[in-house]
Homo-oligomer: A and B are copies of this chain.
């Protein structure tokens, strides 16, 4: 499988997680920052290889084979992110780009040894689950901070937006995986939140609160 094919599968996998319905050509093109015509070409190719179910004009979904392949790429990506953060001391906003490259390294033995070396983690540095060697995923029930009400509290277990900008913002506010967060006030006007993180009180917008997972 080529790098490009792997990137398409991964993108379709991630889009599927959100919407469930068949994925449109345009949605893929937008996410991959490419043109719809390029996507059409690739979908034909992936369909030939039985990795996706593709019907002209009707969108696309992953076959079981394609889903497993996509999960293996995600597995590699997230394990490498763990390695970068835990062993090489990268911060969580720096690892995505490098993992985008490392996820294409081909060696099952390598990835399984890496998995063991890291102590078989179940989540990456952003709180996203790591599929095991068979593609199984342990789902952790988690809620967005924005869905919480006044006086509730919980632990930050992940982020929805993993962009460098957002992660740097969280670093600045000293919000990290494992941070205890308590809702002090929910402003009904703009749905912003007054929260306590550790022993500091801060105000976060609804957009921020909609990208932090709490358990």
Contacts and interface: CB of A to CB of B under 8 A. Distances in A.
Contact of A110 (B88, B106, B113, B114): B88
A160 B149 CA distance: 68
B114 A88 contact: yes
A65 to B, nearest CB: 23
Chain A interface extent, by class: 10 to 19
Nearest to A97: B107
Nearest to A116: B88
B105 A88 contact: no
A41 interface: no
A98 B88 contact: no
Contacts of A107: 97-98, 101
B105 A90 contact: no
Contacts of A177: none
A87 interface: yes
A97 B107 CA distance: 9
Contact of A105 (B101, B113, B114): B101
A101 B90 contact: no
B84 A110 contact: yes
A63 B26 CA distance: 46
